[in-house]
Chains A and B, each alone.
Chain A
Amino acid sequence: MATGTEPHLKSGQDSGGVRAATRAAISAAHLRTDRWWLAPAATAAGLFAFIVYSTWRAFANADYYAAPYVSPFYSPCLAENCEPMRSGPNWEIFGSWWGLSPALLILIFPLGFRLTCYYYRKAYYRGFWASPPACAVAEPHKKYSGETRFPLILQNIHRYFFYAAVPVAGILTYDTVLSFRDEHYEWGHMGLGTLVFLVNIVLIWAYTLSCHSCRHIVGGKLKHFSKHPVRYRMWQWVGKLNARHMLLAWASLVSVALADFYVYLIASGVFDDPRLF
């Protein structure tokens, strides 16, 4: 007669969870026999590596420009202390009082976009916070309020970071166009770096447009697709990309780091950009 059954609520200090008194008495926190820890461990390792690398590069304030390439970490460059890039994306919005790396000014936006992204949230909730570490594996925390309270309620602003991520991707596209110049700013040339930038910008756009907020904005919010055929098509298209959001999140993360690293190698003179034509 379980339709009338109320949930078995217990006083707060009880350990709750799978070992609660009303649940089947099993002492193990989980009984999974597969390598469930592999995915969160790999995720955590991957994210950690990126954080270390990007922190170093963002604070370095050096080796981010080698004509015609500008590191995506430093574009657009918004401070007076930026290296001059001819017809490149540097606008001196922040005056000489800004003494830190100009990367910090702009990285806020892609960082915020990725930090509030529905995929990355899953990745770091599982990988860093073990909430949960894997499905049906008990999490170590006593209390859980999810995204109902500050600060995690701020995850709801994801779409504004999406709005911000679009112009940033636009500027990176502009950088990619500029990379069809040579080191003397002559047009009609292409180096290995151009190729790296091309791959990166395609992945950045694919990741940005496959965003769940984007899917909602272009059509998901509609009640009647049939009355908005164009938006419906866009929603379907974004939906196809969205199904690969995780893949794109990782691919673009790697590609943006590689693009930066490539610029670093050229700028620090490790080797010269091989010319394709």
Chain B
Amino acid sequence: MSTTTPSSPGASGTSYDARFRVWRGDVKGGDLEDFTVEVNEGEVVLDIIHRLQATQTPDLAVRWNCKAGKCGSCSAEINGRPRLMCMTRMSVFDREDVITVTPLRAFPVVRDLVTDVGFNYTKAREVPAFVPPADLGPGEYRMQQADVDRSQEFRKCIECFLCQDTCHVVRDHEENKAAFAGPRFLMRVAELDMHPLDAAAESGLDRKQTAQDEHGLGYCNITKCCSEVCPEGIKITDNALIPLKERAVDRKYDPLVWLGNKIRRRGER
């Protein structure tokens, strides 16, 4: 505000020049380019990328929106680690460090730091939506907080797709993309399966079964990189993927359940 500016102490005088390497190019090719750029106190990597745009490379392509860690747009890899640029403070680096910024390396590159994240939208469509219970109208839903806690944790997801990017199942094996939904969308399956009023089962859809049969849960080898990179701190592996695996076990590898199903099916015949 113009009216509220007593000079902020330390805002100036602490700036320095940092060395950046930013990947520039497109699907035809590209390379890491070196830049020297000013850094001020309290800034994040996205600020530096913006300064590059405004002063050196006006056409540097970067995706961003809220700059507050809420929208999940500015995903990139900083010094080789998948992160949100807006939540990576410059103060975590030494001033002498060369900071390398590249686009997400699990997805096809579009230009510079922008990748084609269409894979994720394709996978989102493959997860059957919430099935509302037939006997409840709007306003009649009653759910206890204890029953919605688990799914609420998963709904904190901002869809930055860092988990999808870091997951070696698709990052290192393009051919698995067809069969594997990725941590974000397996977590979506878990969210719906734990939703206290989801009526998928009543409509003949067994999410526990389809998690493995349709969405590739078995590809997950629970090495936890998705949880490590999650900027929302969601315990994707411990709270979504492993419980989902256990639920799949209930369906497919529990001999008692298996026997029960066999008998029931025979009875129906």
Contact = CB atoms under 8 A, between A and B. Distances in A.
A80 to B, nearest CB: 32
Interface stretch (A15-23, A69-77, A101-109, A261-269): A15-23
B176 to A, nearest CB: 7
A6 B105 CA distance: 17
Given A6-B122, A16-B175, A135-B166, A242 B238 contact: yes
Interface in B22-70: 23, 25, 27, 29-32
Contacts of A34: 79, 81
B221 interface: yes
B236 to A, nearest CB: 13
Nearest to B176: A144
Contact of B121 (A2, A18, A216, A224): A2
Nearest to A216: B246
A177 B2 CA distance: 75
Interface in B142-168: 144, 146-147, 165-166, 168
B14 to A, nearest CB: 24
A87 interface: no
B144 A220 contact: no
A151 interface: no
A8 interface: yes
A226 B119 contact: no
B168 A139 contact: yes
Contacts of B243: 212, 215-216, 220
Interface string A114-130: 00001001100110000
A159 interface: yes
B82 to A, nearest CB: 6
A20 B100 CA distance: 20
A33 interface: yes
Nearest to B168: A132
A24 B253 CA distance: 41
Contacts of B77: 31, 136
B221 A135 contact: no
B247 interface: yes
Contacts of A143: 173
Contact of B122 (A7, A121, A122): A7
Nearest to A32: B80
Contacts of A32: 79-81
Contacts of A148: 216, 218-219
Nearest to B123: A7
A3 B178 CA distance: 16
Interface string A134-170: 0111110101111110001100111100000000000
Contacts of A16: 172-175
B219 A135 contact: no
A20 B174 CA distance: 8
B225 A132 contact: yes
B154 to A, nearest CB: 14
B116 A17 contact: no
A31 B261 CA distance: 50
Interface string B83-116: 0000000000000010010110111110000011
Contact of A12 (B81, B175, B224): B175
Contacts of A226: 144, 146-147
Contacts of B23: 24, 26
A243 B107 CA distance: 32
B223 A25 contact: no
A25 B25 contact: yes
Contacts of A25: 25, 29-31, 109
Choose among A12, A131, A132 the residue with the greatest number of B CB atoms under 10 Å from its CB.
A132
B40 to A, nearest CB: 23
12 contacts: A2-B121, A4-B118, A16-B172, A24-B109, A33-B80, A122-B224, A136-B171, A148-B218, A156-B249, A213-B246, A220-B243, A223-B196
Interface of A: 2-10, 12, 14, 16-18, 20-26, 30-34, 118, 121-122, 125-126, 131-132, 135-139, 141, 143-148, 152-153, 156-159, 212-213, 215-216, 220-221, 223-226, 232, 242-243
